[in-house]
Amino acid sequence: MLLQFLFILVALCSLILIYFGSGKNKEIIIFFIWQIIVGIAVFNGYFLKHPIYFPILMLITLIISFWTINKQDTNKINSNYLLLINVLRIPVEYFLLLLYFKKKIPVEMTFLGWNYDIFIGFTALIILLYLWILKGKLPRNILISWNIIGLSFLLFIVFIAVLSSPIPIQQFGFDAPNVAVLEFPFYLLPTCIVPIVMMSHIIFIKKLYKENHLNTTQMNPKK
C-alpha cells in the first residue's frame, strides 16, 4: 500500500512540476483530466482484461502530450522545474526495481537490466544544484546535448517496455511480462510520468534553441 501511495505522490509531483515548469500552461489541465479518465478504466481492470487496447491508450496520450507542447510559450518556461522533473527519475527507478522483485515487470526495465534512466536523474540533480544553488552557468550546447541524451534514454526504455508487454509483439520478459502498467496506480508511469519527462526535455530544448536564436540575432542584426 505504501508503494502505491508513494508512486501516486511522485506522479502528482511530476504534474505540479510540469505545470510550473511550463509557466503555468493551462493545457496541462487537459493532461490531468486525461489521467483521471484513464485511472477509472485501469482501476476497474479494463486493460488487464484487454491489454491489446493499451497501445491505443498510449497513442491518445502522445497526441495530448504533443498538443500540449505545441501550445507551449517558450518565454514562460522555467528550466529549474524541468530539471526537477528529471530528478524524479531516481525514485521511479527504485519503484521499478521493487516491481521487478514482485514479478510485475522484467529485469530489462530496471537498472539491473537495460534501463539507465537513473543516470539522467542524478545528472539532472547535479545540473540543478550547479545552476540553481551555486548560480553557475553551463553552455547551451551542453544543456541541449544532455536533454537529447535524456530523451534518447527515455525512448529506449519505452521501446523495451512496449516489447515486454503482454501483446502480440512481445519480445522480452516472457517469465515476468510488463503487466504493472496495466494496474492501478502504476498506469501513471506510461500515461503520466513518462510523457511529462518527454515534454520536459522537448520544451527545454525549444527554450534553449530560442535563446540561441535570439542571441545570434542580437549579435548579427540586419543592417
What 3-state class would DSSP assign to 55?
Answer: helix
DSSP count for the chain of H helices, then E strands: 10, 0
**What are 150's three cell numbers?**
535524456
Look at the alpha carbons of 66, 140, 129, 115 in this order and tell me if their dihedral is positive or negative.
positive
Show me where the domains of the chain are located.
Answer: 2-219
**What is the band of 209 on the pLDDT scale with cuts at 50, 70, 90?**
confident
Please name the residue ranges forming H helices in 72-163: 79-87, 89-101, 117-128, 140-163
In this predicted structure, the answer to whether residue 176 has a pLDDT above a threshold of 50 is yes
10 Å Cβ neighbour count for 60? 14
The angle subtended at Cα 113 by Cα 204 and Cα 175, nearest 5°, is 125
User: Cell for 90?
Assistant: 531516481
Q: What is the pLDDT of residues 72-106, one digit of tens each?
A: 888 889 999 999 999 999 999 999 999 999 999 99
Q: Answer whether residue 194 shows pLDDT above 90.
A: yes
CA 109 to chain centre: 15
In this prediction, residue 215 carries a pLDDT of: 61
